[in-house]
Amino acid sequence: MSEPKSPESGWEKVLPFFEAEIQALILDPTISDLMINGTTGIYADRGGVIEHIELKNEYSVERLEAAIQRVARLMGQDLTQQNPILNTRMPDGSRVAVVGAPSAIGGPTLTIRKFNRWYSTDELIASGSMPSGVRDRVVSFLMDKKNGIIAGGTGSGKTTLMKAILDHVPATDRLIVIEQVAELRVLQPNAVRWEAVDAIPGQAAIPPSALLAAALRHRPDRIIFGEIRDECANDLLQAMNTGHGGTLTTLHAKSAWDALSRLSNLALSARANINHGFIRSETAEAIDFVLYCERQPSGKRRVRELIAVTGYDFATQAFLTEDLYKAPNSSTVSH
């Protein structure tokens, strides 16, 4: 699948429904995230720094709601008082999230995470986001079919980093890519992209766990799981521990080591009677490395940590890890 060449990939069908100044913000390539808080304010993320956008002209809740409805219908969905939450993507890869009435006070909340372009690992290295040695080590892990996590906070660059790393996976590998909202553009020709679907009128929900179960029957060389958020972490651990090497996923966490604990806790939520120590040891068995990235106060995104997972100590209930890289001035992570 070719990558989008311009914002004119679905947006042109809905842009006229927005006020002219908002249209310009949507098309502005310097903005990565556009946040419209009803009629109480508009904010934008430029280079990792959030700024308040002053408009020359006011806009109405009614016109904003009409524009959002147009976006929803373009994507085959509808926004109603019975279904006020929308999470979808535009054809160009931009992510659109909405919370409307009756939950939103002061007008609908609209957040657009815009697709601008993907970066190669060479570009990330040149920008100072990642040392070449870290890239080479992670690529080596992938070539050896090791399983990994890319962890970080919101807006830290997890998906960008995953895409850049996946470009190094051999073109001969068969990839099954599972995402809650499809974003990744993989280069490998024998790759399929699946997207989880929320329940809407006339459409049953298709959760990530169901897609993961289906993936095992489609002969994957690698399973790429866009972001692990819930109890399907247990299913992913079982897949990795039954021979599906080379799996890569992203996860919200506050450090590389914390990502292991968080993955274990998500897996534990699958069944109340799962033994805590057993799941943590299963996590240590499944995961070979964790790459942690962060967004600094300046807005710059960088890799802060790379650890290798070497085992689990039942006596101390601790993951055994080896620090392979720590960025200068990063805080010490307690093991």
pTM: 0.81
Supply φ then ψ for residue 68, to 5 degrees: -65, -40
Burial class (CB in 10 A: 0-12, 13-18, 19+), 98: buried
Say how many CA atoms lie within 13 Å of 154 toward its Cβ.
Answer: 5
70 three-class SS? helix
Mean pLDDT of the region 95-122: 89
Say how many CA atoms lie within 13 Å of 292 toward its Cβ.
Answer: 24
Q: Could you tell me which residues are beta bridge partners of residue 206?
A: 197
Does 205 score more than 90 pLDDT? no
Burial class (CB in 10 A: 0-12, 13-18, 19+), 171: exposed
The C-alpha angle with vertex 157 and arms to 327 and 280, in degrees rounded to 5, equals 75
* pLDDT tens for each residue of 257-305: 999 999 999 999 887 788 889 999 999 999 999 999 999 888 889 999 9
- Residues of the chain within CATH 3.30.450.90 domain(s) are 11-113
Altogether, the residues listed in the chain come to a count of 335
The band of 249, judged by pLDDT with boundaries at 50, 70 and 90, is very high
The C-alpha angle with vertex 269 and arms to 264 and 272, in degrees rounded to 5, equals 115
Cis peptide before 102 (omega within 30 of 0): yes
- Residues of the chain within CATH 3.40.50.300 domain(s) are 121-326
**DSSP string of 238-306, one letter each residue:** HHHTTT--S-EEEEE-SSHHHHHHHHHHHHHTT-TTS-HHHHHHHHHHH--EEEEEEE-TTS-EEEEEE
Separation CA 243–CA 316 (nearest Å):
28
37 three-class SS? strand
Mean pLDDT of the region 52-63: 89
The architecture of the domain spanning 11-113 is 2-Layer Sandwich (3.30)
Does 335 score more than 70 pLDDT? no
307 three-class SS? strand
Which of 81-90, 93-102, 289-298, 306-315 is least confident? 81-90
Q: What percent of the chain has pLDDT over 70?
A: 94
Mean pLDDT of the region 12-40: 90
The band of 137, judged by pLDDT with boundaries at 50, 70 and 90, is very high
Does 2 score more than 80 pLDDT? no
Q: To the nearest whole number, what is the mean pLDDT of the chain? A: 88
The band of 1, judged by pLDDT with boundaries at 50, 70 and 90, is very low
* pLDDT tens for each residue of 31-48: 989 999 998 899 999 877
Q: Which fold has domain 121-326?
A: Rossmann fold (3.40.50)
* pLDDT tens for each residue of 166-185: 999 999 999 999 998 788 88
Which of 20-24, 100-104, 286-290, 328-332 is least confident? 328-332
